[in-house]
């Protein structure tokens, strides 16, 4: 049943995910597939299915930070794919770590900087989520954006490094986020974000 859950999450079938979870309370929500060891949360994050991500995050037995066979977490997949709504849902959940990752990338947001996903970086700045356990995280993100010539991401990261308070305020205004408690889960959709 766990593999069916992974398949339903991979194609973004919200109704099937709900059906599987309702029909079998013993379903293993952390079951890994035979292709790189991804869970339903991995594939939903990669596909941008924020409604499924939210359903899975609400499950009492969900592991929110499982590594796949290469050490990539669901959050890394969402960040690298630029699935902003999924990243926002993950950022709200304090169980999700923003420092775990494989040996090739220093942390979760590296893929977002490398691929030039400016909105993911902006929402991370607004969220005030720290990157766990990494001393050189800003330098790593700046390097990732530099390697692929992501000029907008690079400029934002450099501004944030120099003046985090002012940059956070500017980004909040740009995104229309008011006050400290306005960072919330985005409206749910059934398609990719």
| DSSP one-letter string for 159-178 | HHHH-HHHHHHHHHHHHT--
pLDDT score for 181: 45
| Fold adopted by 2-175 | 1.25.40
pLDDT in tens, 153-190: 999 999 998 999 999 999 999 999 876 544 554 444 44
The Cα 113–Cα 40 span in angstroms is 25
Domain locations along the chain: 2-175
CA distances from 57 to 38, 50, 74 (A): 16, 10, 11
Point out the residues of the chain with pLDDT beneath 50. 101-105, 133-135, 181-182, 185-190, 193
Per-residue pLDDT, 136: 62
Give φ, ψ of 68 to 5 degrees.
Answer: -80, -170
* ∠ CA 86-126-79, rounded to 5°: 30
pLDDT of 185 reads: 46
Q: Could you report the per-residue pLDDT of 85-96, keeping only the tens digit for each?
A: 999 999 899 898
pLDDT at 29: 95
Tokens of 11: 């194609």
């Amino acid at each position: 049943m766990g593999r069916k859950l992974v398949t339903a999450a991979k194609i973004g079938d919200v109704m099937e995910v709900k059906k599987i979870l309702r029909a079998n309370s013993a379903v293993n929500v952390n079951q890994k597939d035979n292709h790189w060891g991804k869970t339903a949360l991995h594939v939903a994050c990669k596909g941008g299915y924020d409604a499924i991500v939210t359903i899975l995050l609400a499950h009492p037995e969900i592991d929110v930070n499982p590594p796949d066979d290469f050490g990539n977490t669901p959050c890394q997949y969402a960040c690298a794919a630029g699935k902003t709504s999924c990243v926002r849902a993950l950022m709200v959940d304090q169980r999700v770590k923003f420092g775990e990752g494989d040996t090739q990338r220093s942390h979760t947001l590296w893929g977002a900087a490398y691929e030039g996903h400016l909105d993911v970086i902006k929402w991370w700045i607004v969220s005030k989520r720290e990157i766990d356990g990494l001393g050189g995280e800003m330098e790593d993100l700046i390097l990732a954006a530099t390697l692929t010539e992501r000029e907008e991401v690079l400029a934002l990261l450099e501004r944030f490094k120099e003046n985090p308070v002012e940059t956070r305020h500017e980004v909040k205004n740009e995104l229309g986020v008011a006050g400290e408690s306005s960072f919330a889960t985005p409206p749910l959709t059934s398609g990719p974000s």
